Amino acid sequence: MPSPFPGMDPWLEAPDLFPGLHERLTISIQDALNAAMPPGYVATIKHVVWVDPELRREPDVALYGREGSSESDGGTATLPGLVAVGRKRQSDPIEEPYLEIRSDRGKRLVTAVEVISVTNKRAGREGRESYQQKQEEYSLAGVNLVEIDLLRRGPHVSAVPLARLRRRVGAFDYHISVLLAGKPQTYHAAGIRLTDRLPAIGIPLDVGASPVTIDLQPMLDTAYDRSRYTELFSYREPPDPPLTPDQQAWAAGILKEKGLIP
């Protein structure tokens, strides 16, 4: 089933759905780049790995062993003067993908491509601070940076300053930012409204090399088709984050026309 919307589906921004979409889009962009780039360049997937204290479950005993055990049979240790009150819960490592375009047989980083994630916008050392540090490292290293933000929730985190972006592209719900390496560094951007089709954009390579164009909308459509998202949510429930009244009316008209809501 194709997505009912012409561009981004706001229901896919939900915190429990977007990570899967983020991963699928990253892989699709990698495939598109490697199919279109000239010889000498390759797009590879890298991962940021961290432990999120907000997402906890019991660790896999087969992988980590049993906690609180001082005996080989898995018995609970006894400590004089203390009463056992339970076992500590641990967080699983989380891996979040992003793309690097490299040349010289992978030795030189040319361009980084980031689909902005929920974590990138989260306050704290493991979230926004870490992402902004990575942005600075790209800038100092002379690496092009492409950022695709399909999340209305959270603060602005892409490299292009928000005030400058709004002056240049006007009102937007989503946006794409490109920081071109060089002296001086220059910004390019596209503002995207909820009613817009996702654009085809140029991904920069080295100076003098033609950018590679990738079309984001077919990637989103394919992700929607293959992930069976409508088995995971109902269009009868409001999206998270919510829409404005005008956006609600627009979305309801589309969903009624498609027979997805009464």
**How far is it, in rounded angstroms, from Cα 217 to Cα 254?**
18
What is the DSSP pairing of strand 212-215 with strand 144-149? unpaired
Domain boundaries, the chain: 10-53+91-257
pLDDT at site 43: 97
**pLDDT confidence of 61, banded at 50, 70, 90?**
very low
**How far is it, in rounded angstroms, from Cα 256 to Cα 262?**
6
Both structure tokens of 252: 């309801």
**pLDDT confidence of 124, banded at 50, 70, 90?**
confident
**pLDDT confidence of 126, banded at 50, 70, 90?**
confident
Mean pLDDT of the chain: 87
pLDDT at site 125: 78
Q: Is 149 helix (H, G, I), strand (E, B) or coil?
A: strand
Q: Is 124 helix (H, G, I), strand (E, B) or coil?
A: coil
**pLDDT confidence of 203, banded at 50, 70, 90?**
very high
Query: Contact at 8 Å (CB) between 73 and 4?
Result: no
Residues facing residue 108 across a β-bridge: 103
Pick the range with the lowest mean pLDDT from 12-16, 89-93, 151-155, 251-255. Answer: 89-93
**How far is it, in rounded angstroms, from Cα 89 to Cα 59?**
7
**How far is it, in rounded angstroms, from Cα 224 to Cα 150?**
14
Residues facing residue 188 across a β-bridge: 178
Q: Is 92 helix (H, G, I), strand (E, B) or coil?
A: strand
The yes-or-no verdict on residue 191 having pLDDT over 70 is: yes
**pLDDT confidence of 49, banded at 50, 70, 90?**
low
Question: Could you tell me which residue, 94 or 108, shows the higher pLDDT?
Answer: 108
pLDDT at site 48: 73
Region 168-187 average pLDDT: 92
